[in-house]
């Protein structure tokens, strides 16, 4: 468990949120979800729209009932469940992704959504990517875009 995972866990627990590190997401990714994610990431005119992407994955995950399994890259660095039922999965990376790496990381976040919705289609699920540079949090990247976080 990394230092950042430990800090995340302590912060989450301090406000009464359930938090697990190195959490394994299990489920299934329907062929429709796989096709959608691939086409989304290969689209050269792609426009970010987190809500729309997640809802499309939710719809494509309905009625795809197969025995749950573990996929490569299904390990979440930090899993948080808030008292209102909101689930947040966070991947912490230590390098600033370039365009090619960003696609791979985005694919991972979208796949996490598909895995989660295959188990609970009504889940309030929010995947995030946190990028660390030189040991400091520089930004948080969601499927939708960026939000800058400054640490003093």
Look up the CATH number of the domain holding residue 82: 3.40.1350
Rounded to 10 degrees, what is the CA torsion of 88, 82, 7, 136? 50
pLDDT digits (tens, 9 = 90+) for 29-88: 999 999 999 999 888 888 888 889 999 999 998 877 778 888 888 999 999 999 999 999
User: What's the structural domain count of the chain?
Assistant: 1
Cα 50 to Cα 13, 43, 76, distances in angstroms: 27, 15, 19
Q: Is the pLDDT of residue 142 over 70?
A: no
Q: Where are the alpha helices (DSSP H) in the chain?
A: 3-14, 31-42, 50-61, 99-119
Between CA 41 and CA 18 the distance in angstroms is: 32
Higher pLDDT, 150 or 18: 18
pLDDT digits (tens, 9 = 90+) for 11-36: 999 999 999 999 999 999 999 999 99
Higher pLDDT, 11 or 135: 11
Domain containing 75: what range?
3-148
Q: Is the pLDDT of residue 146 over 60?
A: no
Residue 120 backbone phi and psi in degrees, to 5:
-150, 95
Rounded to 10 degrees, what is the CA torsion of 29, 2, 126, 110? -30
Higher pLDDT, 130 or 94: 130
Sheet (strand 136-142) strand order? 18-27, 69-81, 87-93, 125-133, 136-142, 146-148
* Cβ contact 110:143 at 8 Å: yes
pTM of the model: 0.81
Helix (H) or strand (E) holding 75: strand 69-81
The pLDDT confidence band at residue 149, using thresholds 50, 70 and 90, is very low
């Amino acid at each position: 468990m990394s230092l950042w995972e430990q800090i995340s866990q302590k912060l989450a627990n301090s406000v009464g949120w359930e938090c697990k590190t190195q959490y394994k997401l299990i489920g299934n990714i329907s062929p429709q979800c796989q096709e959608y994610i691939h086409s989304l990431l290969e689209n050269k005119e792609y426009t970010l729209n987190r809500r729309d992407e997640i809802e499309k994955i939710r719809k494509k995950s309905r009625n795809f009932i197969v025995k749950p399994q573990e996929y490569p890259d299904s390990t979440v660095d930090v899993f948080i469940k808030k008292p209102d039922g909101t689930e947040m999965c966070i991947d912490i990376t230590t390098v600033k992704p370039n365009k090619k790496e960003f696609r791979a990381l985005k694919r991972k976040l979208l796949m996490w959504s598909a895995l989660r919705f295959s188990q609970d289609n009504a889940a309030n699920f929010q995947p995030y990517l946190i990028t660390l540079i030189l040991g400091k949090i520089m930004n948080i990247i969601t499927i939708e875009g960026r939000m800058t976080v400054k640490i003093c």
